Structure 1
């Protein structure tokens, strides 16, 4: 294959890809750790979708997952155990969607196999861990004409959806700067809805500390990318990244306080600041900051809405004012999930919207290009940080050049 810097698209674009409607989406769920089990539980509320196949290396997890299905009145799923069972699941004729909830290193390899087997894919974040893997996802989705949906739930945060609608109505004027973050002290007791098992805490903390960049950028960049309309109006072109040295606690593998900060420039001149910190005792924070010429909003640490004229609104007042913009389908699904008592409304809105689009043969809210653009920041922030904060170019995955 030619170098991506100097070759052009061969396959048609997968942007706005629409496939045949699937009246009932049959799902193979691969990986039954914390995220996989939460997904299985959530799908008891989602119509026109069935979990038909479960895959894991641990028989106890498979048994526990099937017990949850039957406890909620759903039929037993086919249980497939073993390190290679995911390959067999991808080949099943009675599966429409492969839903991947494994560790990061398996995301791309399973997603590529599933698309090659004619299956649509939903994959946990990040969808890929390197630029090369991002290109694999793009080229496979274009060739197979299958959907690749990265399950970035922060795009379905109600405040983010309201901010998006506010922007679409022009209330920000010209947006000049945005900020996003994943600041989450994983080793501490978790806030409601943010629980991590001991296993996940260990591998995620160690992965982030050893990486040296931001291996988990999609929570921060996803809502910003949608706000700035990277599909049509703008795109990221370059970044610089620096990482704190950190400090050792215990043995030499336990690096704490290693924080990455990245600054991104877009084609239209918007600046973006992203930050990752999972090892210091800072309160949970995703920033969700938007600066425009006519208005400013920020969700964390205190919800704030400030217009060019008038007093700032904070806390409950800001949230009440933002409710006027909860009008898009995904925001209505968030409210539906809240009314149903679903534990995490933004996860519910994400999956309910995904299934609705598949049921009706519609383009998805997020596509393979989003997955590639957001996930590639993992390698690129690392590359810049290693080079002392030198600028790094961000590929244009839609143009193959």
Structure 2
């Protein structure tokens, strides 16, 4: 865009409230417009954070002079709102997943191709401290050949808004799927998936999904590497878990619990002792602290990789939290989307990458409903 600053609209302030200030502070953003149907939330947010450009109507936003929109509404609205944005000639970012059906994915691709605008799925997991750390290890050759990958995401959604009730676990699997495909640099080609457990009828009736847990094994495009993902949404007694493991022939990385430091495993010189004598190679296990890679960002938004507090203007004795969302990933997502527009290039998580990462889960659930029958994942390219 020849160095011109852009105008961005943020749609949805419940989860989306973490993003407007990052955009506002980005050096390539001229103006931020916030949009939400909830007038009380909109007014409160604009007053607390000093946003003067506000609207309740999505069409009003699309009819305005914003260059791009970032959609952060509930998951079943993502595809429709994205298609509307692209058809209106706006660059579009959408929180995960981009869609919940294969046809919706195709609709977004068609609209993107027709509009020739940028599309990015804002997947947090590939910009976390942990994923950036593993990416650096791989670029340095420390992991060696990738032998296998695993992703896990357990979260109890009881009490969340009604549209979550009984949702097929793999329809919201990108946090577990995406780091595996990103780090391997491959597409998922085929999936075998099995459901596990039972749920009460009121959860089953909404989507016809009987499974609280689904486990999928993906064949990757090199034909030699596989990855597995386990996802749970309901009736499974376990702490929140979001993590991934990458197993290499020289070193492996494992991160499986929220807020717990990950581990790396590596071979050491020498032989391990067993009850039948010296046998095999020694393995070292070391906890690692993943560094903050804020140097990858413009200076103005680096602070958002960690949590900080600002005064609440409505309650002078209270503070509001900002930054640090999803392990430091939010400003990286904003920067990649904005820079892709300014530099007139496709973003890292472009429409075809997003399509594969999303379709992997959709096809996984289809396989589970067929008792593990293999399902080919469409090549949307």
TM-score range, shorter chain: 0.7 to 0.9
Measure the CA separation in 2 of the matches of 1:336 and 1:172: 30
2:227 pairs, out of 254, 257, 272, with 272
TM-aligned CA distance change 1:330 to 1:275, over 3 Å: farther
Structure 1 counterpart of 2:284: 312
Which of 113, 130, 142 does residue 159 from structure 1 map onto?
130
Superposition deviation, residue 219 in structure 1: 0.6
Residues 249 and 393 of structure 1, relative CA distance in 2, 3 Å threshold: closer
Distance 1:262 1:375 in 2: 13
Structure-1 residue corresponding to 2:296:
329
Find the counterpart in structure 2 of residue 7 from structure 1: none
Aligned residue in 1 for 2:115: 144
Equivalent residue of 2:368, what SS?
helix
In 1, distance between residues paired with 2:204 and 2:99?
27
In structure 2, which of residues 333, 339, 344 is the aligned counterpart of residue 350 of structure 1? 333
Unpaired runs of 5+ in structure 1? 1-19, 188-197
Q: Identify unmatched segments of 5+ residues in structure 2.
A: 270-282, 309-322
- Name the residue aligned to 2:11: 30
Q: Of the candidates 355, 369, 374, which is equivalent to residue 391 of structure 1?
A: 374
Contact persistence 2:215–2:230 (CA under 8 A): yes
Which structure carries more strand by proportion?
2
Tell me the residue number matched to 1:287: 243
Larger Cα-atom Rg: 2
1: CA distance, partners of 2:122 / 2:238: 26
2-structure distance, mates of 1:128, 1:246 = 26
1:370 aligns with 2:325: no
What is the number of equivalent residue pairs in this alignment?
345
In structure 2, distance between residues paired with 1:145 and 1:133 = 18
Residue of structure 2 in register with 1:298 after alignment: 254
Instruction: Note if contact 2:305-2:329 (Cα within 8 Å) is conserved in structure 1.
Output: no
Distance 1:339 1:383, change over 3 A: closer
Native 8 Å contact 1:21 1:358 kept in 2: no
Q: Shift in Å at residue 150 of structure 1?
A: 0.7
Answer whether contact 1:184 1:284 (CA < 8 A) is retained. yes
**1:170 counterpart SS class:** coil
What corresponds to 2:43 in structure 1?
63
Give the whole-Å Cα distance in 1 for the aligned partners of 2:133 and 2:105: 29
Q: Quote the Cα distance in structure 2 between the aligned partners of 1:298 and 1:331.
A: 30
Matches within 5 A, 1:74-113: 75-79=51-55, 81=56, 85-92=57-64, 94-113=65-84
2:34/2:53 contact within 8 Å kept: yes
Q: CA 1:357–1:372 in 2, change beyond 3 Å: closer, same or farther?
A: same
C-alpha distance in 2, partners of 1:251/1:220? Answer: 23
Give the distance between the partners of 2:203 and 2:59, measured in 1 at CA: 37
In structure 2, the residue corresponding to 1:215 is in which secondary structure? helix
Residue 210 of structure 2 is aligned to residue 238 of structure 1: no
Distance 1:362 1:251, change over 3 A: closer
- Equivalent residue for 2:148? 177
Name the TM-score, length of structure 1 as normaliser: 0.77
Aligned to 1:125: 96
Q: Provide the secondary structure at the position in 2 that maps to 1:247.
A: coil
In the superposition, relative to structure 1, how do residues 303 and 368 fare at CA in structure 2: closer, same or farther (>3 Å)? same
Q: State how far apart, in whole Å, the 2-side matches of 1:25 and 1:250 are.
A: 46
SS class of match (2:172): coil
Change (3 A) 1:157 1:334: farther
TM-score normalised according to structure 2 size: 0.81
Stretch moving more, 292-301 or 253-262: 253-262
Question: 1:335-387 CA distances to partner (integer Å, 9 max, x unpaired)?
Answer: 65346832322112221332233334343221001111111134212211111
Q: Which residue number in structure 2 is paired with residue 191 of structure 1? A: none
